[in-house]
Structure 1
Amino acid sequence: MSSVPHRCGSADVRDGRHGDAAAPCAPRPRRRAVLAGAAPVVAALLSGCGEDETPAAVPMGPAAASPSPQASTEQVAQIVADVSARVVAADGARDPSLLAPRVVGTALEMRTRAYENLGKVPGLPATLPTPSSDLQTALVPSGEGFPHTVIAVVTDSADAAVHHFLPLQLADARSVYTTWGWARQLGGVTMPAGVAPRLGAAAVDAADDEDLVLAPQDALALFAAVLSNGDAADPSDLLEPDTFTEEMHASIQAERTMLNPDVPADSLATIHEEYTVHPGELAALRTADGGAFVAGSLRSSRVITLVGGATMSSPDPELALAGTSGAFTQEAVREYGATVVLYVPPSGKSGRIRALAAVKSLLGASGQ
């Protein structure tokens, strides 16, 4: 990818040759000159078609080397720095408009809801991590065509020992790279052997299961199903156990026990959390071993249903957002957003799908 600076657009940090969507480029004189000069050449070639003489073959240049990466390391570093600066500014002012144009989708919704929720319940724990501008490495695809996808690994703004996986996507040549989420590397997780991030990776379609244990979209769906229903949702044992899933399941069990003190489970209240894949937010890139990094967004709904006329009074600050003064007679619902990163191994090799990183944040609560 050429690193010639782009002169159009007004973005704070320009993505190489890509300008700001708000300021499309004017046609370039050089290109017009090239196209204008093409007509006489074509006419000259056509004028020789009626002659008996076989025209000389058009000389071919040397075969192109492998396609250039869609972004350089320097460009990715600039983009990451811009994302970090915007998140820090938005958090300081609790103003989601400061996240534009880099932060979109689930990441924007998480931040927006967090600012709103903190305004309603001051004691609400803030759990959203902030990526720093310290780029560690990046998985960058090669080739032409859009969208472009990059998966960067950066440190945390507060703890350099913590890493975040940051998917970045470029919709077209007039856009800027944006991110719909980032996920914190899970404790105890190390990179699978032979999958070090690199320039020149290949993008993987969401439904592409060629040479992979599962297609990226199916791997995310399986992860969501296991989060929802436990190991029974993975009869083929394709998923390796991970600390995020264990923590989510332990949280459910602890709350179930609290809701049913000194009585059999589910006697007074049932609890279940259902996870689904959030559409339109998936990034998948091939790793050196033929597997893939897969990043995606999830939504979950944790529902407490009261049984047999039972009532509940909860001091949970998350449920304070429901507007019922902490008292419930029928149900209490909490909605969450999450970003996860999986490693999907190549088919035909030993190894299971692994969760590498995850982050989850409260979006809202309701009940009656």
Structure 2
Amino acid sequence: MKYAPPIELTDEERSTLEQTVRTRTAPQRDLLRARIILAAAEGKMNREIAAALGCSLPTVGLWRTRFAKHRLEGLKEAPRSGRPRTYGPDKVSAIVAQTLTPPEPRTHWSTRRLAQAQGVSHMTVHRIWRRYQLQPHRVETFKYSRDPELEAKVVDIVGLYLHPPGNALVLCVDEKSQIQAINRTQPLLPLRPGQVERRSHDYERHGTVTLFAALNLATGEVEGECYRRHRHQEFLRFLRRLDKTHPDGEMHLILDNYATHKHPTVKRWLQRHPRFTLHFTPTGASWLNLVEIWFGILQSQALRRGNFYDVDMLVATIRRFIEAWKEDAKPFVWVKTPDQILAKARPRER
């Protein structure tokens, strides 16, 4: 057997190889190659290395030779040619261009319909769509706020989120109206192995309630109250509750532009309670209110799949959810600056 001299490693090469060996997520082929070179640097023979690492003698010789010629680059996988592309760039451009042009009278292409039009397979169209991140079957909605005070309101509310006043309480307040007490006409078929939860399509409606809720910006806790109606009287009752629950200090309430929030009776009450300061979201931008996120969580985790025989049962469920939320409440963290929001909130010039 031909003698293979020891491999001399630089400090950088040794550090790189040892780091590869310590990395748990490294591919096994990379671990093996690094161990072969480290063992060779210790002066071990090929046969000894092969026996210790459980690999063949030609494998050890191959990677020692590659490392001797190309150093660390020699341990990397050589690029493979792979299967040549069936269609050239002109065909790809034609498929992309036709994807962007809806086929009359339809609103968008499907992979099979476009494949038939272009004379290719639907998998070819699928791969090209994935490469260029094209998803004709999807659509998203957007809405630009036309509020003339858009910038001032965004700066005001986001300023409260990013830099809340130290000695004041910030509450995100809103109403979730028309929550339905729905009872399915047939018993629920529960989740079990091999079968998802199933429920009947038709249902009976047993009334609605409106939930008034306030999200504490600092703690993430929520306090709420359910009322049968959605008027300024109910909103005023909720304000009085907040006044009683938090008797001291300034309070900043973030609200949308619903008429009940600006009713003359509510305004007169606020004048008598100057520690309350109201901050209104821009028109058509109620998503700026963080309590909307919590409403979405309530809907998905407690209401959407619930079954309620009457309004009282619905209200009890909402109250239990609020109490459970308080036990593990965490604040929502706002990260967007006013400039980042305004860059997307303003209509784009065409």
What interval of TM-score do these two structures reach, taking the shorter chain for normalisation? under 0.3
Larger relative helix fraction? 2
Larger relative strand fraction? 1
Normalising by structure 1, we get a TM-score of: 0.17
Higher Rg of the two aligned structures:
2
